[in-house]
Amino acid sequence: MAMRTEAQPIIDALGAVLDEPKDDCVLPATWYVAERAGAEVVIAVNGVDPHHGVDSIATVPAALTTYETCRRWPVDLIVSAGVAGAWSRCGAQVGDVFVSRDRFVYHDRRVDLPGFDVYGVGSFPAVDASRLAEELGFSTGIVTTSNSLDETDDDRRMIAATGACVKEMEAAAVADVARLFGVPVMAVKAITDLVDHHVATAEQFTANLALATERLRDALLAVIDWCGPRTVRDLGGGQQ
């Protein structure tokens, strides 16, 4: 998780305990550990940037925290959890919860060279979580990632080409690193803003953050309880 505001409600709900980092860890990230539904839950939070004093958001902190988490724990499933934007054209409303579908992509890596253009967009697999989403009543959609809160005209064209329904700043980087470790990834995102709304994204985000983090907490508790007695293959209805 990127922001402490996103993470604190689920940390409190689980009664998660701070896990001290290893001596060789130079990241500002923090980790909290809890037990629920027969599973060990590790909450990794990117932490506060030591130079700017704000939450370490976006792709670089997400990738580094994911790498360190996979190095320290035997991870069965990574959940990129947080708040996000979405589009009315996908039927989204503020406060909705989306689960990733199919893949994670980028929409701000424009490299107009043969081969590098495909590399720029990326296509990092999202574990099939269709059964979980259906049974818990969550929407599903392709998640697209960038390092900007807003979007440019070029971003809009790239997003339209990928068919993405959820826009945020970490998940593709998380999935990129997780693929190196062979760990399946899904995203759980609560919607703070509608990208195609006339009100500015930053204004919507600020106004709706408290509601979205509450929805996110409740969604994550439901996901943990659903996953606890099951295997990763069960997320999409597969058999063990």
Residues assigned a catalytic role? 6, 193
Residue 185, C-beta contacts closer than 8 angstroms, at least 6 positions apart: 77, 78, 79, 80, 100, 104, 124, 125, 126, 127, 171, 174, 175, 178, 179
Residue 123 in tokens: 């296509």
At position 7, the amino acid (one-letter code) is: A
Q: 71 φ, ψ to 5°?
A: -75, -30
In angstroms, the CA 94 to CA 225 distance is: 24
Going by C-alpha positions, the residue among 202, 181, 216, 212 that lies closest to residue 80 is: 216
Q: How far apart are CA 79 and CA 171, in angstroms?
A: 9
Alpha-carbon gap, residue 10 to 219, rounded angstroms: 10
Q: Report DSSP letters for 8-65, one per residue.
A: HHHHHHHT-EEEPPPTT-----EEEEEEETTEEEEEEE--B-TTT-SB--SHHHHHHH
Assign 189 to helix, strand or coil. strand
* First-residue to last-residue Cα distance in the chain: 29
